[in-house]
Structure 1
Amino acid sequence: MRGLILSLVLLFPLGLFANELVSTSYWSNTAIGGHDTTAYHQVELDRPSRLAEGSPRFTVKWNGAEWHFASQASADKFSMKPAEYAPSYNGFCANALSLGEGKIRTDGTVWEFFGDKLYLFYAERGRQRWLNGDWQQYKAQADTAWADIIFER
């Protein structure tokens, strides 16, 4: 059964499943600590500048969560292609998933691109594990864990 689930996940982008879980705050329904997820993709900015705070003024509801953006232009960009800009696993810690630890929330401050996809981490230690290890293997493990989570809902 796990092989079938993984095959389905590989055939369809992870963001296509309706009402997937999103990493939100314990106290609100705001995704990834309120950070503007489109800003991470602005490669012309230096790394610290890509960590842009979103504003409740520019909010998009997607997958049952509120995603905040720094501007209306960023919110519109996300609205047009949310699966492209949303982090992998909807912001849950990629490292925790790869280790079989389940859904660990993140706040958007520890991040990295692997391939062309954004991944968030609970702590710098997890990011360093992926940077210095076999991130492709870790991604495969995280993909399997995420598939189990979204298909069990």
Structure 2
Amino acid sequence: MLGFSRRGMARGSALLAAGTLFAMASWSLAAEKPPLAIKGYDPVAYFTDGRPVRGLPDIEYEWDDHRYRFSRAEHRELFKADPVRYAPQFENFCAMALSKGELVEADPENWLISGGKLYIFGKPGGPELFQKNLSENVYKANQNRALVPGN
């Protein structure tokens, strides 16, 4: 026959409760992690390497309610020093679509740096189309910035 004592049961219940609270706290912290910016691409690499480069999960920095990943620690430090310079202009959204009043998720492989600013686009033709009337498209996209969640 198994022997149960009140003290043993109380200790077991306390351990179970503590384990449950720990699991809930861990789940809560994971659930509150900000979303990944630009699908994990390194925003600084566009400027330094002249091409899109995937960032690494162990080199991250949280800014403006997003998690940015970087291919090198040096890129993270550059971003920390001046995030406005390196972050894409319309977060994870296509600059050309936003200029038309539409909200389309961007593909970080389609990009443009103009006037020291990074723009990303939903389709390969986006950068060329955006540049055709650059100042007007930038103006219209900025006018529609309120469409971007969180703005």
- Counterpart in the other structure of 2:107: 107
Q: Residue 37 of structure 2: which of 22, 31, 34 is its match?
A: 31
In the alignment, the residues of structure 1 paired with residue 149 and residue 36 of structure 2 have an alpha-carbon distance, to the nearest angstrom, of 23
Q: Which residue of 2 aligns with 1:136?
A: 135
One-letter amino acid of the counterpart of residue 105, structure 1: E
Structure 1 runs not aligned, ≥5 long: 1-27
Letter in 1 for 2:42: D
SS of corresponding position for 1:40: helix
Aligned length: 118
Larger-gyration structure (1/2): 2
- How many percent of aligned residue pairs carry the same amino acid? 28
Paired with 1:126 and 1:85, the residues of 2 have a C-alpha distance of: 19
Counterpart contact for 2:110–2:126, Cα < 8 Å: no
Q: Which residue of 2 aligns with 1:3?
A: none
Give the conservation status (yes or no) of the 8 Å contact 2:130–2:137: yes
- d(CA) in 2 for partners of 1:144, 1:97: 9
CA deviation vs aligned residue, 1:14-44 (integer Å, no higher than 9, x gap)? xxxxxxxxxxxxxx821101111001111xx
Q: Is the 8 Å Cα contact of residues 60 and 67 (structure 1) preserved in structure 2? A: yes
Deviation at 1:150, TM superposition (A): 6.1
Q: Which runs of no fewer than 5 residues in structure 2 stay unpaired?
A: 1-33
Structure-2 change in CA distance of 1:101 and 1:150 (3 Å) = closer
Higher relative contact order by CA 8 Å / sep ≥ 6: 1 or 2? 1
Conserved? CA contact 1:94–1:121, under 8 Å: yes
Q: How high is the TM-score relative to the length of structure 1?
A: 0.70
